[in-house]
Structure 1
Amino acid sequence: MRTHFQIVAVTTLCITLLLSASSCKQLDEVLNNEEMQEFHRKGMESGSGLKVGAENQTKDVVVGQEPKLPDPFAPSGKGETYDLIAKRVRCGTDPRCTRDTTKALRELGRRAGPGLISLLGNEAPNDMRIEAIRVSGWLQETTAIEPLKELLTSPQGAIQREAAWALGLIGDPKAIDALAEILGGQNRLELTEAVYQALGGFNDEKAVQVLAEALPKVTPDLRATIVSSLGRTRHPAAVKPLSDVLRDPGELVRVEAVNALASVGGDDAIAALEQAATTDSSETVKKQALDAVKDLKTPRM
């Protein structure tokens, strides 16, 4: 026997769907069918009538337990160097993570070379390739010199700059010609500056020559960069061009020359600094030159 609720429900459906009298009668018969009512009753009792397939959706899920996420630092199967570089990329700004991976890579030493070189190729993700370039530099990985020289001509400016800096950190004279060749082309200012900075990493007369020849051709800002790099070479051949820069019209350039001469040291550098300490038109330059002379003449313990 139909309940009052069922009668109201059928009537409401008929009005909502704008059914004819005959169609409404057929709907009433279907809903009043004993099998349909039994199915509905069992579904309401079990709570599954409105959750078809729910048992499949909740399979293997334990209430109150968070799903297990994959470990981002799990071994990739591509080698220890690859995994450490990948971890450094994911470290972001976490100093502890960066420190730990740096220590691990230093412990690998030369064994890291093959893995680093494989990451310098175009197949590697860009962020990992840049990190591999940096690591090749501070590990002074000499086997990476040739791949790094090739990256100096990369279409990506960031890759070019990182490769130049890495070659400067390695400091092998075999890379000087490649860096000098880059300076002969039409480059962005950032790349040109990076190459001048990189050349400061070579304690070699050829690097000094490349830097010295560029001095009269560049802007004051770049001239200060070149002067700083001449000082970082710590090569005696740098004293002559640096002494000449002490006559530069730019005070900041002359200050940089004083600091560079102090880095190179030696009797000739001291003589140039003593002259600047007495004749320069800038009190700032005079004071720094005098301090540099005192420091260079102080016996080292």
Structure 2
Amino acid sequence: MTDSAHLNAAPPEAAHALARLADADAAVRRIAVLDLADLEDGALVAPLVAALRDDRAPEVRREAALVLAAWEQEDVVEALCAALLDADTGVREAAQQALSELKEPGSASVLRRWAARPEPFARRAALRGLRELRDAAAFEPAQAALADADAEVRLEAVAVLGWLKDGRAVAPLAALVAADARGAVRRAAAGALGFAAADDAHAGAALLHALADADWQVREEAATTLGKLRASAARDALIHALIHALSDDYWQVRLRAARALGRLGDAHAAAAVSTLLAHPISNLRKEAALALGELPSAASLAPLRAALDDRDPEVRKAVRIALQQLGERLAERIEDAP
């Protein structure tokens, strides 16, 4: 259908707004864009695309980019991608936001092409849109982008691969955890490894390395991911590293390490975790108590009972829960004994 045919099919109430798109005042044209969007009529997409592409005022182009996110069709996605190269920063950011809101799988083919553009901002925006679409074919451009010179592009690529949960991504993500120059990228890659298999050697080695990273946020993320994975690869080394992390300079790392040790369920960690019950930060005492409830060690009983008098009611509640869980676990061990 031609543009004129589209406009002939538009509802009568659109006529006034369409006329105002040619007004000399940019503020009037911007309101006309909003009015046309409110009509939610596909026949009005063409003038909105034209406003995004051709209007001389950046505020009008910016508004057109934002409203066009509601129409997922190839010409709109192409126009939004083209707007990633707009001279105005606000227009580029509005187009990026609109692309991140796309939901139709068919939009992915356009975004995959734009993920290979020479402009870093365009690559970042295309990858961000692909992340939301969970497009399996995005694996290849995302994997390629892990080597991008722009750290923000690498971050977006990591996010795509983390959402896709494709086992082929584990090794390259693990390599980023160990070697990327940017702490933010190493941290994101450590978090993305949460989909790896518990016995994956690449993931285990990378997370073990990350527990000694110079950036405390990377160490925190590594401990968090280990708690999710309940890793079995290099288990003894990981537990030793997590126990060491209980004395990290940052309490956030200690908290995540305690949580991970609880989920790994190794009784040898109980003595080290119980030392956190005396930490001045109540959130850390609470997490330590909950972790001890998951560790089948009778040695935890005495420190937990002593913590029943903790000054924080949330900690006391966690201690009661832990004592109940620990009692059940110890009883199961007795029943299972030969």
**Structure 2 match to 1:175:** 169
1:1-301 alignment, distance < 5 Å: 66=24, 70-72=50-52, 73=64, 79-83=75-79, 90=91, 92=93, 105-106=102-103, 108-109=104-105, 111-123=106-118, 125-183=119-177, 185=179, 187-203=181-197, 205-215=200-210, 217-219=212-214, 221=216, 222-233=218-229, 235=231, 243-244=239-240, 245-248=242-245, 249-250=247-248, 252=251, 253-261=253-261, 265=263, 268-269=264-265, 271=267, 275-276=271-272, 278-280=274-276, 282-283=278-279, 284=281, 285-292=284-291, 293=293, 294=321, 297=325
Residues 183-230 of structure 1 show CA distances to partners (whole Å, capped at 9, x for unaligned) of 565623343333323323535524531334304642361322321232
- Aligned 8 A contact 2:243 2:272 in 1: yes
> Could you tell me how far apart the structure 2 residues matched to 1:178 and 1:238 are?
19
Residues 97-127 of structure 1 show CA distances to partners (whole Å, capped at 9, x for unaligned) of 95x8666x22x13x2331221111125x543
Say how many residue pairs are matched: 226
Alpha-carbon shift at residue 157 of structure 1 (Å) = 2.0
Q: Which amino acid in structure 2 is aligned with residue 120 of structure 1?
A: A
- Aligned 8 A contact 1:117 1:147 in 2: yes
- Aligned 8 A contact 2:158 2:192 in 1: yes
> Could you tell me how far apart the structure 2 residues matched to 1:189 and 1:101 are?
27
Root mean square deviation of aligned Cα: 4.3
SS in 2 for 1:193: helix
Alpha-carbon shift at residue 81 of structure 1 (Å) = 3.7
> Could you tell me how far apart the structure 2 residues matched to 1:276 and 1:79 are?
60
Alpha-carbon shift at residue 180 of structure 1 (Å) = 2.9
Alpha-carbon shift at residue 130 of structure 1 (Å) = 1.0
- Aligned 8 A contact 2:131 2:159 in 1: yes
Asked which structure has the greater CA Rg, the reply is 1
Give unmatched runs, 5+ long, in structure 2.
Answer: 1-19, 30-49, 53-63, 85-89, 294-320, 327-338
> Could you tell me how far apart the structure 1 residues matched to 2:179 and 2:234 are?
25
Alpha-carbon shift at residue 92 of structure 1 (Å) = 4.7
Task: Using the aligned pairs only, state the percent identity.
Answer: 19
Q: Structure 2 vs 1, CA of residues 119 and 126 (structure 1 numbering), >3 Å: closer, same or farther?
A: same
- Aligned 8 A contact 2:201 2:234 in 1: no
Q: Structure 2 vs 1, CA of residues 168 and 122 (structure 1 numbering), >3 Å: closer, same or farther?
A: same
- Aligned 8 A contact 1:176 1:207 in 2: yes
What TM-score do you get using the length of structure 2 for normalisation? Answer: 0.52
> Could you tell me how far apart the structure 1 residues matched to 2:210 and 2:72 are?
49
Alpha-carbon shift at residue 260 of structure 1 (Å) = 3.3
- Whichever structure has more helix as a proportion of its residues is 2
- Aligned 8 A contact 2:211 2:223 in 1: no
- Aligned 8 A contact 1:84 1:101 in 2: yes
> Could you tell me how far apart the structure 2 residues matched to 1:289 and 1:183 are?
27
Q: Which amino acid in structure 1 is aligned with residue 288 of structure 2?
A: A
- Aligned 8 A contact 1:117 1:144 in 2: yes
